[in-house]
Chains A and B, each alone.
Chain A
Amino acid sequence: GAVVSQHPSRVICKSGTSVKIECRSLDFQATTMFWYRQFPKQSLMLMATSNEGSKATYEQGVEKDKFLINHASLTLSTLTVTSAHPEDSSFYICSARRGGTDTQYFGPGTRLTVL
């Protein structure tokens, strides 16, 4: 159990467009989901924490109007990169945590390339 999926796995878009990434917990209810960004050969940088039914909590330096997060259900969270620019190109990974537990399970990631 504890499978997390992410879609799409890879996306290429033009500068100025918006891209939506979905994160789903397939076999458990995730009260909390996390969104990370990972640059090549670097660690995971937490962008925001989202709890089902409430507004996301963004880390310092992360623009909430640029990275829109919605956690509408216990199995789905979405990250929308608005007006994407080449510097937004990165590997975005979500994770999900079952309520009352410690473990975060990661999705497979989405590689975003903005031309």
Chain B
Amino acid sequence: NAGVTQTPKFQVLKTGQSMTLQCAQDMNHNSMYWYRQDPGMGLRLIYYSASEGTTDKGEVPNGYNVSRLNKREFSLRLESAAPSQTSVYFCASSDPGQFNYGYTFGSGTRLTVV
């Protein structure tokens, strides 16, 4: 089925460890996004890529880096994980050329930093 695929689904890290969250979409969307979801905070944008070759900071970029590897793939890297980064991370993509556009979200990565 077409959509957004995120890996891994679950991860436990120790403080200071690094990891990369992977995201791929097969809908030929130009724009891709990384959000984190925390209780009572809703969804907050970490980074986004409006098109292949560009990335921009969102609302909460500190402690994260991203790479738009190609049109399909957009990865999120935690260089030195901290307990404050414990969250559920969602990747999304969209095609702003559509009239009723919206995000297609992946199923999320639940990250715990201990």
A binds B: no
